[in-house]
Structure 1
């Protein structure tokens, strides 16, 4: 009888351990691990590398925010409309990609921008432990306001990673 009780306890403990492991995965579950800002930025940068080729962004549905417009000290903004109308913030899926036009006619990915319509939130959004700028009028002339946050993941910004402008980005070769 004693062996049966010991065997039952061992089986019970084994099952409890297995179910707790299954219920709480430790690998990619953001709730189980508090990432540092540096880690979050590295995750974003890795996820966005494919967009270094502007054609990949265009093929995936990113479109010109203001067609052909290059914003001085920022670049050309491509927005993914399906992401821009809610308050969901995903570090791997920004609403806007920012490109710098180059002399040879190509484009260099320089930043990502997260965007939240002001009417979708009652408080200033935060990502990477940074508060978004805003609320501000929409830049494309449409009615309404928004919050946004730039992250200069692919071009160093002397004014800081989250500064809205980067004086190292030029529109000199914009068409």
Structure 2
């Protein structure tokens, strides 16, 4: 599955990136206030509430693209991608292109993703995405991403890449 899904994600994202070069750059970030960011995270949490179990994500067009990802720093989970939600240059807090789940199928995080196409660093409110970074597998493009831990508490922080309290 790993080789097939990496090829699928690489091909889909590459096709989206090629067609997205003409999109406008990300708008200026929202004012940096905890109230503004709390509202933004709450809107993402509310939008993904219907995806608490992986079966709901599958029914909505998300497809599995990784095994459960873990490192000495913690876990990210199993990544599910909805290719229709990848829009370089536009971040929609209510429609994360990726969701991550634990091995038991419970939602861990929303993940925002943009292929790198020469745009400014994408922003989720006042929080910059991580990157640009090389793809994590064959065919995956250089990209930006940001985890938002709306399903499980992350003691390392709401936007940390790894969650040290979770394991595969």
**Runs of 4+ off more than 4 Å:** none
Paired positions, count:
132
Length-normalised TM-score, structure 2: 0.73
State the TM-score, normalized to the length of structure 1.
Answer: 0.70
SS for the counterpart of 2:120 is coil
Cα distance in 2 for residues equivalent to 1:77 and 1:43: 21
Name the residue aligned to 2:99: 97
Q: How does 1:57-136 map to 2 (within 5 A)?
A: 57-66=57-66, 69-72=67-70, 73-102=75-104, 107-119=105-117, 121-136=118-133
What is the rounded CA distance, in whole Å, between the counterparts of 2:59 and 2:137 in structure 1?
Answer: 22
Task: Note the aligned Cα RMSD (angstroms).
Answer: 1.8
Contact 2:48–2:94 at 8 Å: present in 1 too? Answer: yes
| Cα distance between partner residues in 1 of 2:141 and 2:108 | 27
Q: Is the alpha carbon distance of 1:65 and 1:39 closer, same or farther for their aligned partners in structure 2, counting shifts above 3 Å?
A: same
**Separation (CA, whole Å) in 2 of partners of 1:128 and 1:149:** 12
Q: Secondary structure at the match of 1:42?
A: helix
Q: State the structure with more CA Rg.
A: 1
Among candidates 130, 153, 158, match of residue 155 of structure 2: 158
Greater RCO (Cα-Cα under 8 Å, separation 6 or more):
2
Gap runs ≥5 in structure 1? 1-33
